Every structure is written in C-alpha cells, then in structure tokens.
C-alpha cells in the first residue's frame, strides 16, 4: 500500500502545464462562432439543391464547414465533430475538383450531417456524453462519406452570380441589430436631456410670477416627451419582430428530410409570410409546424405506390399559408393525403378513455379528430424515428392554448386534411393612438387609424331596411348601429335617441360601419392591455386600458366589430 502511495507521489504534476481558463475561452469562442454557422447551414444546403452547379454557393458552404472543422479542433471532446466536418469538407472538395454535380444523394447526406453537427455541438456545450444511437448514427454517416460514389457524369459548372446581397453589419446582433441598439441609446440620451430640462424648468421659472413663460416651457416639454415616447415605442415594436419568411425558412428543409426518411416525395408550397411577426410567437408557431408537418407526411400523405393505386399524382402536395390579420396569426396547413381515419381514432380514443362509450353517438367528428392532440395519443402500432410515441401533436395544442388560440380540423377521406391554427397577438404592452367616446355611461375607444369620419346623427338621412338601420356616407349605404344593436342583431333605440347621438364611421379593409356614441371626448395614446382572468374578454374589443382618472376603457377591434355585423347581413339579403 505504501509503495502504491509512493508511486503516485512520483508521478509528474501536469496541472501547471494545462491552462484551463484558456481552454474554457477557446470553447466559448467556438460556441459563439459556430452557433450562427450551424443555424444557417440547412438554408445554404437547400440553395445548392436549387442550383447544383453553382460554384459560388459550393464555396460558401465549403467555407462554413471548414470554419467549424478548424475551430472545433481545440475544443476538448470535439474530435468526432471535427471528423464529421472533415468528411463533409472532403466531399465538397471532390465535387469542386472533379466538376461533379451536387446530386440528391449529396443533399440528403449534407442535411443529415448538418443535423448531426448541431447535435454534437449541443453535446459539447452541455458537456454530456453522446447517446448510443447518436454515436452510432455519426459513425455510420462518416462511413457513408468514405464510400460515397457519384453516379453519371456531371455537366460543366458555370459560375452563377447570387442575387441576394450579403447582410449588412447593421443587421448583426442576437436580440437586436447594432443599428437598433444605437437608436435605443440615442433615445435614452434624449430622455436624459429632457429629464434635466424638466428639473431646471421647476428651479428657474416661477409659474406664479411668470405664468406665460412657464406654460410655454411646459408645452415644449410635453411635445418633446410625446415625440420621444412615440419613437421609443415604435422602436420596441420593431425589435420584437422579424420577417415571417425568415422565421420559417427551416420548414422546407424539414419537409424534405421527413419525406426522404419515409421514402416519400412531397412538394411544399408556402404562402403569406409577407409581414413581420413577433419573434417568440414565430418560434412557437415553427415548433407547432414541425410536429404538424411530420405527422402529415407520416400519417396523411401516402407513398408513391399507394397514391398511384388511388389514382393520385405520385408526388404528395403539402401547402402552408401563414397570414397576419390585425395581429392575429392564422396558420393553415393542407395535405392531399388519405385524410384522418375517424374509426381508427375513435377506437384508440375509447381505449385511452378519452371518450366514454355512452357518448359516442353525441360526439362530433371534429371532437373525435381533436383526440390526436391528447398527450400519449397515437394510432401507430410501430414506433419509428418519426412517430409512434404519442408525443408531438400535444405540443401543438399546448402552444396554441398558450396564446388563447384555437385549432380546427377539416378532413375528407382520400382527399386530405386541413389544420387551421389561430394564434391571437401576444399580450405585450401596446401603445395605440385612439379616440375616446362614451355610450350609456361606458367609456370606449376607437383606434385612430380606423376612424374615417365623425358627425352628428341629426344631419344624416336614415333608412331602415329589415332589421338594420342605414345612413348615407360619400354615396355609400353604411349600417348605423350601437354596439348593443350589433351584438344583439336587432334595433332597440328610438329615433330621438339616435338623432341626439354622434356617428363614428369606422373603416376596416373595404368595409365600414357607423357606430353610435353619446359624444366624442378626446384623442389620446392608450396603453392597450390584453384580456385575462381579471378583465374578461369582450366580443368586438381587442383589449382595455386604464385612463388617468382610473376609469377603464375598452378598445374597439374594427375587424371583429365588422365580422359581428356581417353575421346579420346574410339574413337581410335572404329576406
């Protein structure tokens, strides 16, 4: 025992030769540098699929992979990621040297490698060992590179000039760009100057002795404060949002990978996306789409043989439309697959006790279909890498409920399924210019951007057609109603009350309604708060605000109000 102890003491001490702080710094730099590269790797690979002979795009991809390989070499435990990157880089070198075309097999292998490189980088960051299946997949992929063979002879490559310009330095940043940060710093500086001005105003001007000077200074202060707060609020709204088409650029890659994994061919069409979206909401919608897409390709869209037998085109069709309607995001995903199997879902729902046998006759089809969103629910008998564990679709439901949204399902046997997800605007603080008015003792506000005209009803020519009241405005026949009349779909005011009221003409898109109010009070900026547990949601309103006198005012949602009105119009037209 003593000998062993002496031997241990005789071992050389290497602790002074290892600079652990330097190792940590090298690792930190790698993680920061590689994060952006790995995030954009899939998009770069997909560009090659559209232009397989574009030497410029091949060089861009080569540089990204080469950077990963070079920087991970000094990170402890990074040898496997370095080996995979090396094989990735070597194949790109072969493509360039031998003038080969980037084939479908290359794209498949590159996308697989990209996913594995992200997993390896995450494992290094978390300082965890690889799972056996992860290790096995990485080794198998490296082996595939070693035995990779090109089929056929590639045409001569031509250099293609990329139309997309490189991102400017102003757009760098994680949470906000450098340009946005500088703007925020400028505004904070102006607020500081304004604060000092306010303090000096109170110290140097006596409002009793010099009331005119004090009033002028106070007016200047108020105008400057209003200007800066407007700019500050506008800047914050920009920072919170990003382009929708950038938020969901990973979906085409996901569709391709899932279809390849399941040996299916799927064509994706994405529409909308020409708007800015809240970053956190975009992330949650993207996660929802990941599970919906994988479920649709696995369960809904048939393989080529099944589709041919059913008389369908061999290529499955998947379409996703994401639109913004007054801050509410609508996601519509359609496939042309075999549709949902009602009886199979019902059988599993009964087995999982989601539906009681005695309720089967009264449960609607959509309620049955929505069982697929229950945790642990799956109709798959065999677990695969894509589905079968009963997880995923419940995440979709959870994320929609997080925003107080809704899910609807429409399906036809043999024709396909449509999922419609509605995500109301996140309840962040929003400042909106509004016009305040009163009606029957209640305070309401109308967004100033939707106010087309304000006039006394005494000068309007009124007509009653069936169960609605109308007036003329700029050669248009416009419904003239109170909020209660719109909500209850019936007239309940006598003519004297209407004549003594004020009409606020509210416009949304191509429609208009004249809202009756007792009087218009003022124009102001309101901090709009979303409805919650304390103040319940009111139909036709987007939120509420608390005024300086501590009164609560409800803010009209023009599109909701007009949607409520349109429900009555078909009845009128039918009459």
- The confidence score (pLDDT) of residue 59 equals 85
The CATH architecture assigned to 248-423 reads: 2-Layer Sandwich (3.30)
DSSP letters, 538-554, are -TTEEEEEE-TTS-EEE
Residue corresponding to tokens 């080529």: 304
pLDDT averaged per 10 residues, the chain (length 575)? 47 46 67 80 86 85 82 76 87 86 88 89 85 83 84 46 34 54 77 75 67 77 78 70 78 81 88 84 84 86 89 92 86 91 85 81 82 72 45 76 85 90 72 85 88 89 84 87 86 85 86 90 81 71 80 86 73 39
508 with 565: CB under 8 angstroms?
no
Specify the fold of 430-574: SH3 type barrels. (2.30.30)
- The confidence score (pLDDT) of residue 226 equals 75
Angle between helices 251-261 and 104-126 (to 10 degrees): 110
> Domain 20-151 - what CATH class?
mainly alpha
- The confidence score (pLDDT) of residue 442 equals 86
- The confidence score (pLDDT) of residue 474 equals 81
Which among 448, 421, 440 is positioned nearest to 483, based on CA atoms? 440
Count of Cβ atoms closer than 10 Å to residue 286 Cβ: 16
CA–CA distance, 431 with 447 (Å, rounded to integer): 10
pTM: 0.50
The encoded tokens of residue 311 equal 């008389």
Domain ranges of the chain: 20-151, 181-243, 248-423, 430-574
User: What DSSP state is assigned to residue 297?
Assistant: I
- The confidence score (pLDDT) of residue 549 equals 74
CA–CA distance, 42 with 72 (Å, rounded to integer): 19
What separation in angstroms does the CA of 481 have from each of 145, 486, 490, 564, 568? 71, 6, 9, 12, 12
Per residue in 248-281, pLDDT (tens digit) is 877 887 788 778 878 888 999 999 888 888 877 8
What separation in angstroms does the CA of 30 have from each of 62, 73, 121, 185, 409? 18, 10, 9, 30, 45
Sheet of strand 316-325, all strands in order from the earlier edge strand to the far edge: 266-272, 316-325, 328-335, 416-423, 406-412
Which residues, other chains included, contact 118 with Cβ-Cβ below 8 Å and sequence gap of 6+? 38
- The confidence score (pLDDT) of residue 23 equals 63
- The confidence score (pLDDT) of residue 570 equals 46
């Amino acid at each position: 025992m003593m000998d062993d102890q002496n031997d241990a003491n005789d071992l050389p001490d290497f602790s002074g030769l290892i600079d652990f702080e330097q190792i940590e710094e090298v690792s930190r730099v790698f993680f920061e540098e590689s994060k952006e590269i790995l995030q954009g790797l899939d998009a770069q690979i997909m560009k090659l699929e559209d232009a397989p002979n574009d030497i410029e795009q091949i060089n861009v991809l080569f540089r990204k992979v080469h950077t990963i390989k070079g920087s991970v070499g000094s990170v402890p435990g990074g040898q496997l990621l370095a080996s995979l990157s090396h094989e990735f880089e070597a194949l790109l070198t072969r493509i360039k040297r031998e003038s080969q075309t980037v084939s479908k097999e290359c794209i498949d292998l590159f996308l697989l490698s990209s996913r594995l490189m992200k997993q390896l980088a995450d494992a290094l960051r978390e300082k965890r060992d690889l799972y056996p299946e992860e290790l096995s997949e990485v080794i198998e992929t490296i082996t595939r590179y070693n035995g990779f063979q090109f089929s056929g002879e590639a045409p001569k490559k031509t250099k293609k000039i990329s139309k997309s310009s490189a991102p400017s330095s102003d757009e760098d940043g994680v949470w906000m760009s450098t340009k946005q940060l500088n703007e925020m710093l400028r505004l904070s500086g102006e607020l500081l100057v304004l604060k000092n001005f306010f303090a000096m105003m109170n110290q140097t001007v006596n409002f009793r002795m010099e009331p005119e000077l004090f009033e002028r200074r106070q007016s200047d202060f108020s105008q400057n404060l209003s200007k800066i707060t407007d700019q500050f609020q506008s800047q914050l709204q920009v920072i919170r949002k990003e382009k929708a088409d950038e938020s969901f650029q990973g979906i085409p890659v996901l569709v391709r990978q899932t279809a390849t994994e399941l040996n299916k061919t799927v064509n994706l069409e994405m529409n909308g996306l020409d708007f800015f979206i809240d970053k956190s909401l975009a992330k949650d919608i993207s996660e929802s789409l990941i599970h919906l897409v994988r479920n649709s390709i696995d369960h809904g869209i048939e393989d080529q043989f099944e589709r041919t037998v059913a008389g369908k085109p061999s290529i499955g069709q998947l379409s996703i439309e994401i639109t913004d309607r007054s801050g509410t995001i609508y996601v519509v995903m359609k496939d042309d697959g075999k549709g949902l199997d009602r009886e199979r879902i019902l059988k599993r729902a009964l087995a999982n006790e989601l539906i009681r046998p005695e309720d089967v006759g009264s449960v609607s089809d959509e309620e049955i279909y929505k069982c697929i969103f229950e945790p642990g629910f799956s109709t798959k008998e065999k677990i695969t890498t894509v589905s079968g564990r009963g997880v995923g679709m419940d995440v979709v439901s959870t994320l929609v409920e997080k925003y107080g949204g809704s899910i609807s399902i429409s399906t036809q046997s043999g024709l396909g399924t449509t999922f419609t997800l509605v995500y109301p605007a996140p309840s962040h603080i929003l400042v909106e210019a509004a016009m305040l008015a009163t009606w029957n003792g209640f305070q309401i506000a109308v967004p100033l951007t939707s106010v087309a005209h304000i006039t006394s009803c005494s000068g309007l020519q009124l007509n009653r057609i069936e169960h609605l009241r109308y007036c003329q405005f700029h050669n248009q026949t416009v419904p003239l109603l109170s909020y209660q009349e719109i909500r209850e779909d019936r007239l309940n005011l006598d003519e004297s009350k209407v004549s003594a009221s004020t009409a606020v003409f509210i416009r949304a898109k191509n429609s208009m309604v004249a809202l009756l109010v007792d009087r218009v009070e003022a124009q102001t900026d309101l901090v709009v708060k979303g409805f919650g547990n304390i103040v319940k949601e009111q139909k036709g309103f987007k939120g509420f605000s608390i005024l300086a006198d501590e009164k609560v005012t409800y803010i009209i949602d023009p599109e909701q109000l007009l949607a409520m009105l349109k429900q009555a119009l078909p009845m009128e037209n039918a009459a």
